[in-house]
Amino acid sequence: MLVYAVTGLLALAVTFVPLSQALRLPYTVILAALGLMLGAAAMSLAPDGAGPLSGWLKGATSLSISSEVILFLFLPVLVFEAAMSLDVRRLLNEMGAVLLLAIIGLLLSTFIVGFVVSEFSGVGLMTCLLLGAICSATDPVAVVGVFKDVGAPKRLATMVEGESLFNDATALVLFSILSGLMIAGDALDLGQAALTFFRVFLGGILVGLVIAALFSALIDRIKNSPLVNHALSIALAYFSFVLAEHYLHVSGVMAVVTAGLFFNALSDRILSLKEIHALHEGWEQLGFWANSIIFVVMGIVIAGFVSTIDGAQLSTLMVLFIAAMIARAIIVFGLLGAFERLRLLRPASTAYKAVMTWGGLRGAVSLALALIVLENAAFQPEVQQFIVQLVSLFVLSTLFINATTISTLIRWLGLDRLSPVDEILRSRARDLVRGTVREECPHAPSLSDDRLAPTEPPTVAEEASFALGLSILLTSERRLYKALLDQGTIEGHVYGRLSHFVEDRLDLLRHDGAQRISETLINEVAFGSEFRNAVWLHRRFGWSSVLENRLGLRFEMLSAKKWALERVIGEAESLLGVSMGEALQRPVIELTKQRLELVSQNLAALRAQFPAYCAAISRRMEQLDRVNQMVSRLEQVSHSGALSETVALKLNAELERERQKMLRMPPLDLPLDTMTLIGQVSMFQGLDEHQSEALAAVMSLRFCLPGETVMTEGETGQWMYFIASGALQVALPEQSVLLGSGDFFGEMALINDEPRTATVTALGFCELLGLDRRAFDSVLGDFPEIKALVLETASHRSLA
Ligand code: CMP
């Protein structure tokens, strides 16, 4: 009967998809309304009879969903699906804002709502804080959909989605702390609560990471078929939730979020593009089912609670609603705004902030938490009544008030209007479509349809034309990266980074105009924090594999960029020609040429520093290319029916094994042991082995990135360095001096006990051998020739 009721509900729910599209209302709103109506119908007319229809209605409307079912059955699917569909790299970039909103924002919202409602209704503060925590977890479905429709900056959508994933976890943890205190009758000890909060939160992250790493290794090993991958990933979601929540008593949601994100980030390394695609489709399907069922059932359940509402509760609801919206506004405008002013975050426009505020809907998590209160007999009946009714009404209000009006707000704020640049791009795309249609179907009837009629491109001002030109070139750059991906020259994660770069710049052009774009385009070869962290790991713990990976990735990205930019520049005139004259084209092409030059320079620097490594990577790319071409040829041949399926599968598996072998990065030719490096420094070449070993024992290795400042004029010095490889620049007041392999620097501060006399910066990748103050003294004491040379050089330099 249960199966009959649930599948019937699902079938009924999905038939409402077209209605939601026609009414331009979020699907979840329609489902909740459907649920409410079913619930109300069941209450007013008790169905009798034993026919299939009345049997179903009886079954469906008596589905009493428990908090356990929502938490243990639905939540892992919903959360994992959301984590799988998020763009992890983008999320990591926005992590600061996401955690700020999800942790500090949620706490703030809980307290504001709690105090205001308690003040107004006279209900105890703890009960109202509990209500505040329950009502503060946002559900992103509606906002994300709207953001997609209006082409909002991708980072904003990522921020909202990320926030809602993490704030579910925060709300659950806060809820269990508060409810624990209430049941025990203890007062709130902030220190203790904060400690518990971090233990549970971080514990969840740890569980998620460990389980995801184990499952990823398993999937990587088995890698049998998309069905197996999907089944294992479902097991991963549930397993991490149950292990964390039930057995280890840490945050299950956090475990699923982390597992989902980690698996998502790893998937483009362990699975092929096709497998990833299948996996996402599977999860999308599952998420759709879960969402369809949960919102209808939510409506049915809520219908039971809201039937006994009185006037006092309605006015409390109003206060709750207003307090929650004000709290959200304070978080979005105040908290985010403050971080933007401190330049810790990139600013978002007021219009988008308004949408984020109004679009903070509430959903299944809030209801599940309210149900927990209802099911737990330790709560007093008045508290249960108060929480369940208010939360039900509040969830409904956000669905029926906010979700239904958000598109009006968007229109009113003008967010749905295309910028002049977008307008032109759209008209170009239209013309392109028309062109292709004609080319490919010469006999097609002529298209007099208004939507495809030739359009006069709107005229644009000079600045907008610069932005337009860049957009056109960036778009064709992305197309070239896609081509590289399709032919298998680059892997999914490399493509992800490259296309992100393009998309972020397009976003910037669309929303901030052309002024800021030049500087960010030039910045593209800079070393990001990931690279610096890899260098730090290498320097601190001697772990070179992360650094090797980074360098390999940099090489692949720079090579792909060089290839694409050369082609873009080659085609630039014809690409731009349609919409702009030569004078307007020039600055756009100039900027792209500058980018190419920077990319080529950096690629050359990398090649010069690691010749054997770069050659090995080039070889690897060529071999991969070959195998990928063979795979696609095999596909063609087996499609044509020339091969039996078994033979094709076997061949495919062989090629896949070969591909996997090639995916391994070649070892970096970065001599990492101090003895080898000492051998590279000319002044140490006269030392015997015993002496070199003594020197190696006190020296430390340092790897520097191009542009890294090793020491700054005026600071107190603790180290001096010998250069084993690479070049550095000493910036003196009048001139600058270049130092290379075999030279040393930083000795003057140690000898004279004075501040640094100059700033020294690495020009390329450098390997340095460092001596701290103590080692410096002992080396000078033990090696008189070195001492003489160092002292002599230092005195020369101080005269210069
Ligand atoms: P210190 O003063 O400790 O820090 C800056 C370093 O720059 C300095 O030691 C020297 O090693 C180096 N330096 C200063 N002047 C010169 C120079 N004229 N030529 C080369 N190196 C120099």
Closest residue CA from atom 18 of ligand 1? 797
Q: Which residues pair with 736 in a beta bridge?
A: 731
> Among 39-43, 206-210, 559-563, 576-580, which stretch is predicted with the lowest mean pLDDT?
576-580
Token readout for 121 is: 């209704």
| High-pLDDT (> 70) share of the chain, % | 89
Closest residue CA from atom 9 of ligand 1? 746
Q: Which residues of 636-670 are buried (b: 16+ CB within 10 A; e: fewer)?
A: eebeeeeeeeeebeebeeeeeebbeebeebbebeb
Structure letter (DSSP) for residue 701 = E
Q: Which of 713, 735, 738, 760 for a ligand 1 pocket mutation test, highest count of atoms within 8 Å of Cβ?
A: 760
Specify the residue for token string 């070049």: 727
- Who wins on pLDDT, 579 or 383? 383
What is the reported pLDDT for 229? 86
Closest residue CA from atom 12 of ligand 1? 745
Question: CA dist 723 to 612, 636, 674, 732, Å?
Answer: 21, 55, 12, 19
534 alpha carbon to ligand 1 midpoint, in Å?
Answer: 28
Task: Give CA–CA dist 233/238, Å, rounded.
Answer: 9
Token readout for 142 is: 């509606």
What is the reported pLDDT for 96? 85
Q: Which of 723, 754, 757, 798 for a ligand 1 pocket mutation test, highest count of atoms within 8 Å of Cβ?
A: 757
pLDDT for residue 447 is more than 50: no
Closest residue CA from atom 17 of ligand 1? 797
What atom in ligand 1 is closest to the CA of residue 754?
2
> Among 71-75, 326-330, 422-426, 472-476, which stretch is predicted with the lowest mean pLDDT?
422-426
774 alpha carbon to ligand 1 midpoint, in Å?
Answer: 20
| High-pLDDT (> 90) share of the chain, % | 29
Q: Which residues contact 625 (CB under 8 A, 6 or more apart)?
A: 487, 488, 489
- CA 507 to chain centroid, in Å, comes to 16
Burial label, 564 (beta-carbon count in 10 A; 0-12, 13-18, 19+): buried
Specify the residue for token string 């070969």: 658
What is the reported pLDDT for 130? 94
748 alpha carbon to ligand 1 midpoint, in Å?
Answer: 7
- Who wins on pLDDT, 716 or 528? 716
695 alpha carbon to ligand 1 midpoint, in Å?
Answer: 22
pLDDT for residue 789 is more than 80: yes
Task: Give CA–CA dist 343/80, Å, rounded.
Answer: 32
- 111-153 pLDDT, tens digit per residue, is 999 999 999 999 999 999 999 999 998 876 656 666 776 667 7
What is the reported pLDDT for 458? 47
- Who wins on pLDDT, 99 or 5? 99
Task: Give CA–CA dist 331/357, Å, rounded.
Answer: 9
pLDDT for residue 443 is more than 50: no
Main-chain phi, psi angles of 708, to 5 degrees: -75, 135
Neighbours of 781 (CB within 10 A): 9
193 alpha carbon to ligand 1 midpoint, in Å?
Answer: 54
789 alpha carbon to ligand 1 midpoint, in Å?
Answer: 14
What atom in ligand 1 is closest to the CA of residue 749?
3
Longest CA span, the chain: 107
679 alpha carbon to ligand 1 midpoint, in Å?
Answer: 24
Burial label, 135 (beta-carbon count in 10 A; 0-12, 13-18, 19+): buried
Closest to 272 measured CA to CA, from 551, 77, 485, 502: 485
Instruction: Check if the beta carbon of residue 495 is closer than 8 Å to that of residue 485.
Output: yes
R_g (Cα) of the chain, nearest Å: 31
Q: Supply the mean pLDDT for the chain.
A: 84
> Among 193-207, 233-247, 389-403, 432-446, which stretch is predicted with the lowest mean pLDDT?
432-446
Read off the pLDDT band of 434 (50, 70, 90). low
Token readout for 677 is: 């490096």
Task: Give CA–CA dist 632/514, Å, rounded.
Answer: 41
What is the reported pLDDT for 449? 41
541 alpha carbon to ligand 1 midpoint, in Å?
Answer: 29
What is the reported pLDDT for 713? 93
739 alpha carbon to ligand 1 midpoint, in Å?
Answer: 10
Q: Which residues of 448-461 are buried (b: 16+ CB within 10 A; e: fewer)?
A: eeeeeeeeebeebe
What is the reported pLDDT for 612? 79
Specify the residue for token string 């329609």: 30
Residues in the chain: 800
pLDDT for residue 729 is more than 90: yes
pLDDT for residue 346 is more than 60: yes
What is the reported pLDDT for 441? 42
> Average of pLDDT values for 400-411?
86
Instruction: Check if the beta carbon of residue 175 is closer than 8 Å to that of residue 369.
Output: yes
pLDDT for residue 45 is more than 70: no
Read off the pLDDT band of 345 (50, 70, 90). confident
Ligand 1: residues with CB < 6 A are: 711, 717, 730, 732, 737, 745-749, 756-758, 760, 797, 800
What atom in ligand 1 is closest to the CA of residue 755?
2
DSSP assignment of 397-444 equals HIIIIIHHHHHHHHHHHTTTSPPHHHHHHHHHHHHHHHHHHHHH-TTS
Read off the pLDDT band of 296 (50, 70, 90). confident
> Average of pLDDT values for 541-545?
77
What is the reported pLDDT for 444? 40
- 545-574 pLDDT, tens digit per residue, is 888 888 888 988 999 999 999 999 998 888
Sign of CA dihedral 121, 396, 253, 332: negative
What is the reported pLDDT for 664? 67
DSSP assignment of 537-570 equals HHHHH---HHHHHHHHHHHHHHHHHHHHHHHHHH
> Average of pLDDT values for 234-239?
94
- 649-660 pLDDT, tens digit per residue, is 888 888 877 877
- 577-631 pLDDT, tens digit per residue, is 766 677 778 888 999 999 999 999 888 888 877 787 788 878 877 887 788 788 8
Closest residue CA from atom 8 of ligand 1? 746
Task: Give CA–CA dist 264/747, Å, rounded.
Answer: 49
Main-chain phi, psi angles of 601, to 5 degrees: -60, -45
Task: Give CA–CA dist 47/2, Å, rounded.
Answer: 17
Task: Give CA–CA dist 481/560, Å, rounded.
Answer: 7
Neighbours of 334 (CB within 10 A): 12
Instruction: Check if the beta carbon of residue 86 is closer than 8 Å to that of residue 154.
Output: no
Read off the pLDDT band of 47 (50, 70, 90). low
pLDDT for residue 432 is more than 70: no
- Who wins on pLDDT, 448 or 527? 527
- CA 756 to chain centroid, in Å, comes to 41
Q: Which of 723, 747, 797 for a ligand 1 pocket mutation test, highest count of atoms within 8 Å of Cβ?
A: 797
Task: Give CA–CA dist 453/283, Å, rounded.
Answer: 40
- 748-757 pLDDT, tens digit per residue, is 999 999 999 9
pLDDT for residue 306 is more than 90: no
Token readout for 424 is: 């032109």
688 alpha carbon to ligand 1 midpoint, in Å?
Answer: 29
Closest residue CA from atom 11 of ligand 1? 745
721 alpha carbon to ligand 1 midpoint, in Å?
Answer: 11
Q: Which residues contact 772 (CB under 8 A, 6 or more apart)?
A: 700, 718, 719
- 678-699 pLDDT, tens digit per residue, is 888 888 888 888 988 888 889 9
